[in-house]
Amino acid sequence: MNAQSLYHEVILDHNRRPRNHGDLPDASGRAEGLNPLCGDRLTVSVRLDDGRIGAIAFHGDSCAICKASGSMMTQAVKGLPVAEARALAADFRAMATGEADEARTHRLGRLSVFAGVAQLPGRVKCAVLPWHTLGAALAGQAHADVTDAP
């Protein structure tokens, strides 16, 4: 399967069956993220257990790329220490904006299916929004606007 069809397959799969979809009643952090360029809006809630992401969930109203990115993000960061989740978010952002070299993109594993959005400037923020919102939730901020992101 080539990169393009793998990308479409993954997006479809995560839109049909988003993972960790919903809200955490016992969240220790929760943020609502907004991407006004596309109209994406999503809420990420996290529960920290001993400095690790013990539980995470997301829900919202977003385009397919944003929803798939959010779904895959929750799978990728669940169980990680907060510092590692932040590092992964930085790697993802670098990949989506075309600033990551091959080694850094490779470290992202399955998340690297989103490497192609770097060629689609209008979709970069759709893919980055869940990660940006996670960063806000971890920092104790209630709102995140991805147009403020560097």
| Binding interface with Zn ion (CB under 5 A) | 38, 40, 63, 66, 126
For 8, 23, 99, 102, 119, the CA distances from 85, given in Å and listed in that order, are 25, 19, 19, 20, 25
Read out DSSP for 84-119?
A: HHHHHHHHHHHHHTT---HHHHHHTGGGGGGGGGGG
Q: Which is nearer to Zn ion, 66 or 88 (CB)?
A: 66
Q: Which is nearer to Zn ion, 56 or 63 (CB)?
A: 63
- The span from the CA of 36 to the CA of 89, in Å, is 20
**Closest approach of Cβ 95 to Zn ion, in Å?**
17
Bridge partners (DSSP) listed for residue 35: 40
**Closest approach of Cβ 25 to Zn ion, in Å?**
27
Q: Which is nearer to Zn ion, 63 or 137 (CB)?
A: 63
**Closest approach of Cβ 67 to Zn ion, in Å?**
9
Bridge partners (DSSP) listed for residue 144: 33
Q: Which is nearer to Zn ion, 46 or 63 (CB)?
A: 63
**Closest approach of Cβ 133 to Zn ion, in Å?**
13
